[in-house]
Amino acid sequence: MDNQTTTETNITQIIIGQAISAWDAQNKAVSKFFEGENLDRINEVIAPGKNRIGYILGHLIAVNDAMLPILGLGEKIYPEMLEFIRKPDKELENIPSGADLLQRWDEVNARLSDNFNQMTPADWLERHTRVSEEDFAKEPHRNKLNILLNRTGHTAYHVGQLALAKPAGNK
Amino acid sequence: MDNQTTTETNITQIIIGQAISAWDAQNKAVSKFFEGENLDRINEVIAPGKNRIGYILGHLIAVNDAMLPILGLGEKIYPEMLEFIRKPDKELENIPSGADLLQRWDEVNARLSDNFNQMTPADWLERHTRVSEEDFAKEPHRNKLNILLNRTGHTAYHVGQLALAKPAGNK
């Protein structure tokens, strides 16, 4: 590769790395919320009449876990967690304990991170498994990076909701 | 440029374009929330004891407006809106009307979009104005793209909160 190409390749690596860091930062915000006393509050709602804290964590686990097959990185680790996507909170009776949920959260994210560390910029530009080859030819932005950016925003959305559940004075 | 370089340049353009689209999608989610009846509800809180809907919109305007100087794109359009960053909701007495806020929101985002459309991938990798040249040499990820990714997450965070304020049955 000539110098120009090397520079361009470095630029794509830097940019992809920043997108992964942004994803990671949102996941860390969730993990930080559940450090300490909030882990015992999973059956409390984030606001009157709204979802339970534990439902939101379960939902985020299910969404991140589903990234594995969508990105072609293998099967889901916890397929039974799909209930947290398919059903609203009020239809779910048994939620695992906070400690169990947090362990699953960490495990799913570690699996994703391990895979992300091995992916090249070109890998991120490939189509994800939810779009057909035919559609991808017409809509090349429906690549793996798009899943990453979309899920980063999705996690941030729920981090904003979890923040409302924090006890007063515990910013 | 040879073919390889052209391909790499295209990749960086695609990736940057996707990051801008992700930013845009979050802004559109805010705009969509304020279509219709919610524009008259700016003095309602998102949940008991929490921020008013209008405070959140004002806060988002102020944060996006501040991106102009941070990214070296000119001065803020509404510097007086900084109050929505510096002060909590309870210290702000007068909030502009919903229509006024939405007009400012659209104006600030249009100014940003116009500028983004003219920026090259290399521009996004430059340091932003809040980091010194010395620090940037040590931390090259503190570039303009990082501001874009960070602000996208910030907007998503508040979109999640606005969603809680939606009237029941109005998904």
> Over the stretch A67-119, which tens digit does the pLDDT of each residue have?
999 999 999 999 999 999 999 999 998 899 999 999 999 999 999 999 999 99
Could you tell me how many CB contacts below 8 A there are between chain A and chain B?
129
Amino acid at A95: I
Q: Which residues of A36-47 are buried (b: 16+ CB within 10 A; e: fewer)?
A: eebbebbeebbb
pTM for this one?
A: 0.93
Chain B residues whose CB is inside 8 A of the A146 CB are 18
Question: What value, to the nearest 5°, has the Cα angle with vertex A31 and ends A95 and A54?
Answer: 20
Q: CA distances (Å), B29 to each of A97, B32, B63, B69, B152, in order?
A: 33, 5, 16, 24, 11
Q: What are phi and psi of B73, to 5 degrees?
A: -105, 10
Residue among A129, A163, A158 at smallest CA distance from A61: A158
CB-closest option in B11, B21, B160 to A125 = B11
SS3 content of chain A, % helix, strand, coil (to 5): 70, 0, 30
Q: Provide the shortest C-alpha distance from residue B69 to chain A (in Å).
A: 22
CB-closest option in A5, A143, A156 to B4 = A5
Q: What is the mean pLDDT of residues A26-43?
A: 92
Chain A residues whose CB is inside 8 A of the B157 CB are 156-157, 159-160, 163
Residue among B100, B5, B93, B10 at smallest CA distance from B61: B100
> Would you give per-residue pLDDT tens digits along chain B (171 residues)?
445 555 666 888 889 999 999 999 999 999 999 987 888 999 999 999 999 999 999 999 999 999 999 999 999 999 999 999 999 999 998 899 999 999 999 999 999 999 999 999 889 999 999 999 999 999 988 999 999 999 999 999 999 999 999 664 444
Any B CB within 8 A of A45 CB: no
Any A CB within 8 A of B142 CB: no
The single residue listed with the structure tokens 């949920």 is: A101
Any A CB within 8 A of B158 CB: yes
Q: How far apart are CA A147 and CA A154, in angstroms?
A: 10
pLDDT of residue B168: 44
Any B CB within 8 A of A137 CB: no
Supply B16's token pair.
Answer: 């940057």
Comparing alpha-carbon positions, the chain A residue that sits nearest to B14 is: A141
pLDDT of residue B105: 98
Tens digit of pLDDT for each residue in A38-57? 889 999 999 999 999 999 99
Residue among B68, B28, B37 at smallest CA distance from B159: B28
Calculate the CA dihedral of residues B106, B111, B116, B117 and round it to 10 degrees. Answer: 90
Does A15 sit within 8 Å of B12, measured CB to CB? yes
Q: How far apart are CA B27 and CA A11, in angstroms?
A: 26
Q: What is the mean pLDDT of residues A148-168?
A: 92
pLDDT of residue B10: 81
Is residue B47 within 8 A of residue A47, CB to CB? The reply is yes
Does B18 sit within 8 Å of A145, measured CB to CB? yes
| A125: CB partners within 8 A, 6+ apart | A140, A143, A144, A145, B11, B14, B15
pLDDT of residue B169: 42
Is residue B55 within 8 A of residue B95, CB to CB? The reply is yes
